Each structure stands twice: as C-alpha cells, then as structure tokens.
Structure 1
Amino acid sequence: MGAEHAHARSDAGEALDDFAARVLAFEARSSQQGGAKAEGIRDEFGISAARYYRILGELIDSPAALRHDPMLVKRLLRMREARAADRSRRSLTNPRPLG
C-alpha cells in the first residue's frame, strides 16, 4: 500500500510513473458505467473502485498528470468541480435537519 500514491505527489519537474500513466490511459478510454467500470478497475489494477477514484483524484491535481494529458485532466477537473457545485446546491436547497 502506498507505492501507487507516489505518482500523485510528483512535483513540477517529475514525469508520471507507469502506474499513473496506466490510470490516465484507462480513464481516457473508459466509457463504461457503474459496475462494468468497477469490474474493469479490478481487472486492470487489482484495487477497489473507491481506491481507484481516490488515486485518480490525487493524480489529476498533479502537474505531471496535467503535462501528460492536459485535455483529459482538465476535463476530469471540470467534472469534479461540477459535482462539487451540484452537491453544494443540493445541500443549500435541502438542508439536513438538526439533531
């Protein structure tokens, strides 16, 4: 555990490692949804979908990933920002009861 996280913490001068490049390539070609994508993640990487998405989330914040595939990374960042905005709107329109 932890070895695959090194790629996401690359500083500005480092290139992606093989694992990180494979994650980005998988995400770029992946048009699968739900369970099919989760199964593909398990088959390709041997990890859970939740772990994959944590790694992907760290990865798209790295300058090395942006240099490697700027269009994909920018699209994924926009998608993440849109989901966060949707969650924020929902929480403002449907506040949870106190208690």
Structure 2
Amino acid sequence: MSEEELPLSARDIAVLDFASRAWAGTGARDRAIRERLGMSPTAYLQLLNALLDDPRALAHAPATVNRLRASRALRRSER
C-alpha cells in the first residue's frame, strides 16, 4: 500500500482540526498546542507545513488546507 493510500494518522487529523480554528493570540495558541496536541509549537508548525503538501490532508480538510496554502504562498511572495 502506498503512502497516499494510507489514511491520515490521528495526530495528523488533530493537527488539521486544530489549524482550522482561529486564535486570539499566539500565546493562547501555543499553550493549546502543548496541552491538546502534546507537542511544541515548532513541531506543530513543521508537521502542519508538511501536511499542506499532502493530498490526503487536502481531501480531509480542503477549506483549511487551501486557506493555509494561500497564506503560505503570500508569505513566501513577500520575502
């Protein structure tokens, strides 16, 4: 079975679900990442960035993935 045929892991789904929420501030978001996902904010962002390029993530949460891809592209174009 290829990687694209495997389902997303529970952690991947939790990260995508978490990313779909809006946060009032970075501090609250970072604290929630540690408490709810059990990972550092840096590890969360690295995993989320990788998921944005994963077709399985797009199939699972198209609105979230497309919104975050657009934000990432905008940040990259501003460099």
Question: Aligned letter for 2:78?
Answer: D
| Aligned partner of 2:62 among 70, 81, 91 | 70
Q: Which stretches of structure 1, 4 residues or more, deviate above 6 A after TM superposition? A: none
Distance 1:27 1:82 in 2: 17
The alpha carbon displacement at 1:31 in A equals: 2.5
Q: Is the 8 Å Cα contact of residues 28 and 72 (structure 1) preserved in structure 2?
A: yes
Distance 1:52 1:67 in 2: 20
The alpha carbon displacement at 1:34 in A equals: 1.1
The alpha carbon displacement at 1:74 in A equals: 0.6
Question: Aligned letter for 1:47?
Answer: M
What is the TM-score normalised by the length of structure 1?
0.72
| Aligned partner of 1:38 among 25, 30, 40 | 30
Distance 1:12 1:39 in 2: 32
Q: Is the 8 Å Cα contact of residues 41 and 49 (structure 1) preserved in structure 2?
A: yes
Identity of aligned residues (%): 35
Number of the residue aligned with 1:83: 75
Unaligned runs of 5+ in 1: 1-9, 88-99
Number of the residue aligned with 2:53: 61
Greater gyration radius: 1
Unaligned runs of 5+ in 2: none
Q: Deviations over 1:53-78 (max 9, x none)?
A: 00100011101000001111011000
Q: 1:24 to 1:54 in 2, by over 3 A?
A: same
